């Protein structure tokens, strides 16, 4: 979705992409829609015919007062017909809505799934910059807006316009041009005013939505960082910041409500003037003998019947404009394209030895700040290679590049001589397992979090992975065992417990390549030893890349790569690097002294 830079254009322009998105989902149920449209036409025919039955009833009763049962037959028959027609209108309308409800619900399901899949396909930069609270509200309002568009555009606006055309034609043919002109003129005036006023107030709808998303984002962000708020006793600060956002929302809603008052008031004035003019003209015609009392009632019924959907048309138009404003952010999400995409002829990764090769790799998040500067190294199948260095040296960036969360600026990363930029991202990530520094768990059971490594695995396989990760003793100590809920982001577990869940999850995935990204950096010595034991057992006969902060955890590595400022400054075994008396040796001595 391309947005105009002009504020006025942004308010008034209709995003036609909404309708393009909806149409394919509508046509998926062609028979249902065709039958629903037939019910719609029958409903409108019945609605237009009702006033004629009412006219006949009045004229019959007015012409001859019913003195006996025989004279009551005709008016009673007309009354019965009136009731049957009114019932048929309701029945056909319900059938129509029921038929189209299936279409609407299926479309919302498909669109919601499309957005969900698309969000997971977007690159890491998008998810690092996103605001979860605002994003969730935008998606919710967007799907609701699409639901409204689908239902009311098809079955309210078009039928209302059809009914208006039928009524104006009937008035012109049966009662003359003035009745038709007053009706048509009032309708056009009503629509023009509604469009004008609604275009103006859409700006306030936008402001209210922005303020709503902003306040919701602030609230969720604060609650997600609940512990930090408590640590720094910033409850009042957070409350004031949230209240400031709510104040902005309140002012936007006040403007929104005032503009709605002006819109509804103007519409009511137009309707009142039109009804008064029509009834005055009809009363004049009746008094002059040109029309019957039944004609007067018919015109009154027509006007009331006409302005009811017309008033609803104004509501629908307002809501459509509001809905379009609401779903613009949703379309903006769908328009975002991931920076990392599979090539047209991307192939599946085939693992033989699980060799990893970095060949003269350069990378930068921003052009003016290179992060990786010509890195080259190889990890042979089955080897354990560690990467060490100070913070900001580019260690963790290597992991992101290997997972292909980003594409390299230049150079090549290969697995078994297959350039990862030429293979599918899905197959690449299927063959790599990771135990990250910060393990984030779902707010679900321990079992579900481990099972996430391979959702199709049997319970026996999951329990085996838990045992290999040295979690069995911990699980048995819990009242609910493997059914224990771990809390939001796993906050009910300690750092070591979360790391072992991550290891169990990776064991269950059973990849040929393992990555340990500072998996023990935040643990105490006892937890670290337990995790290292589990890691060493898991890493047997697998290719392992270890990003390490504590050098004592990688002394057994086949090769240790020392990075500084995005470059490799040393590499070799632990003993070889100590002998060099270089950067690694200094790091080792500092850590040993600290311990």
Secondary structure (H, E, C), 212-248: HHHHHHHHHHHHHCHHHHHHCCCHHHHHHHHHHHHHH
Give the per-residue pLDDT at 1: 35
Give the per-residue pLDDT at 111: 79
The two beta strands, 567-572 and 410-415, are: unpaired
Give the per-residue pLDDT at 267: 84
All structural domains of the chain, each given as residue ranges with its CATH number in brackets, are 16-335 (1.20.1560.10), 439-510 (3.40.50.300)
Give the per-residue pLDDT at 378: 93
Closest CA to 499 of 545, 455, 451, 441: 441
* Residue 314 CB neighbours (<10 A): 24
Give the per-residue pLDDT at 578: 92
Give the per-residue pLDDT at 197: 80
Give the per-residue pLDDT at 48: 80
The angle at the Cα of 355, spanning 353 to 359, to the nearest 5 degrees, equals 155
Give the per-residue pLDDT at 585: 92
One pLDDT digit (tens) per residue for the chain, 595 residues? 333 333 333 444 555 666 776 777 777 778 888 888 888 888 888 888 888 877 777 777 766 555 554 556 666 777 788 888 888 888 888 888 888 877 878 877 887 888 888 888 887 777 766 666 667 777 788 878 877 877 776 667 777 777 888 888 888 888 888 888 988 888 889 888 887 887 777 777 778 888 888 888 888 888 888 888 887 888 898 899 889 888 888 888 888 888 888 888 888 888 889 888 888 888 888 888 888 888 888 888 888 777 777 666 666 776 776 777 777 777 777 777 888 888 888 899 999 999 999 999 999 988 778 889 999 999 999 999 999 988 888 888 999 999 998 999 999 999 999 999 999 999 998 999 888 877 778 888 889 989 988 999 899 999 988 888 888 888 888 888 888 888 776 778 877 788 888 888 888 888 899 898 876 665 666 666 767 777 777 778 889 999 888 888 888 899 999 999 889 999 999 999 999 998 999 999 988 887 6
Give the per-residue pLDDT at 559: 94
pLDDT digits (tens, 9 = 90+) for 549-586: 888 888 889 999 999 988 999 999 999 999 999 899 99
Give the per-residue pLDDT at 52: 80
């Amino acid at each position: 979705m391309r947005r105009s830079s002009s504020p006025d254009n942004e308010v008034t322009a209709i995003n036609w992409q909404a309708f393009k998105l909806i149409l394919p989902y509508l046509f998926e149920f062609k028979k249902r829609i065709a039958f629903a449209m037939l019910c719609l036409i029958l409903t409108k025919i019945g609605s237009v015919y009702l006033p004629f039955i009412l006219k006949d009833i009045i004229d019959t009763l007015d012409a001859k007062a019913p003195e006996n049962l025989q004279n009551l037959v005709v008016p009673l028959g007309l009354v019965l017909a009136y009731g049957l027609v009114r019932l048929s209108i309701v029945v056909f309308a319900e059938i129509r809505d029921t038929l189209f409800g299936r279409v609407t619900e299926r479309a919302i399901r498909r669109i919601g799934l499309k957005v969900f899949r698309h969000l997971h396909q977007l690159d890491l930069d998008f998810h690092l910059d996103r605001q979860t609270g605002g994003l969730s509200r935008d998606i919710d309002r967007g799907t609701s807006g699409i639901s409204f568009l689908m239902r009311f555009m098809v079955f309210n606006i078009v039928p209302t316009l059809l009914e208006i055309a039928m009524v104006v034609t009937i008035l012109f043919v049966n009662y003359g041009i003035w009745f038709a002109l007053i009706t048509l003129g009032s309708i056009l005036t009503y629509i023009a005013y509604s469009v004008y006023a609604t275009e103006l107030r859409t700006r306030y709808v936008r402001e209210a939505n922005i303020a709503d998303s902003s306040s919701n984002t602030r609230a969720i962000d604060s609650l997600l960082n609940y512990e930090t708020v408590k640590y720094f006793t910033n409850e009042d600060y957070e409350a004031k910041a949230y209240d400031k956002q709510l104040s902005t929302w309140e002012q936007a809603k006040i403007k929104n409500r005032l503009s709605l008052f002006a819109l509804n008031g103007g519409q009511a004035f137009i309707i009142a003037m039109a009804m008064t003019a029509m009834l005055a003209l009809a009363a004049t015609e009746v008094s002059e003998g040109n029309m019957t009392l039944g004609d007067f009632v018919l015109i009154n019924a027509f006007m009331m019947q006409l302005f009811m959907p017309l008033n609803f048309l104004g509501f629908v138009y307002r809501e459509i404009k509001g809905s379009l404003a609401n779903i613009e952010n949703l379309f903006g999400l769908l328009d975002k394209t991931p920076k990392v995409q599979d090539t047209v002829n991307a192939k599946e990764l085939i693992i033989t030895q699980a060799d990893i090769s970095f060949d003269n790799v350069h990378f930068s998040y921003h052009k003016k700040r290179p992060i990786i500067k010509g890195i080259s190294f190889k990890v042979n199948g089955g080897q354990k290679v560690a990467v060490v260095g100070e913070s900001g040296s580019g260690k963790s960036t290597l992991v992101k590049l290997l997972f292909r969360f980003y594409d390299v600026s230049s150079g090549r990363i290969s697995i078994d001589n297959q350039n990862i930029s030429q293979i599918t991202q899905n197959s690449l990530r299927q063959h790599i397992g990771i135990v990250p520094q910060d393990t984030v768990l779902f707010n679900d059971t321990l079992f579900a979090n481990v099972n996430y490594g391979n959702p199709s695995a049997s319970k026996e396989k999951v329990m085996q992975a838990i045992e290999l990760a040295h979690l069995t003793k911990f699980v048995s100590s819990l009242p609910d065992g493997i059914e224990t809920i771990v809390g939001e982001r796993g906050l009910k577990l300690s750092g070591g417990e979360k790391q072992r869940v991550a290891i169990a999850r990776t064991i269950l995935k059973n990849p040929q390549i393992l990555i340990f990204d500072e998996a023990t950096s935040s643990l105490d010595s006892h937890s670290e030893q337990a995790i290292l034991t589990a890691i060493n057992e898991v890493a047997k006969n697998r290719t392992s890349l270890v990003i390490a902060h504590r050098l004592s955890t990688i002394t057994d590595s086949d090769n240790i790569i020392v990075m500084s400022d995005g470059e490799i400054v040393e590499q070799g075994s632990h003993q070889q690097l100590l002998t060099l008396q270089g950067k690694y040796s200094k790091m080792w001595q500092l850590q040993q002294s600290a311990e």
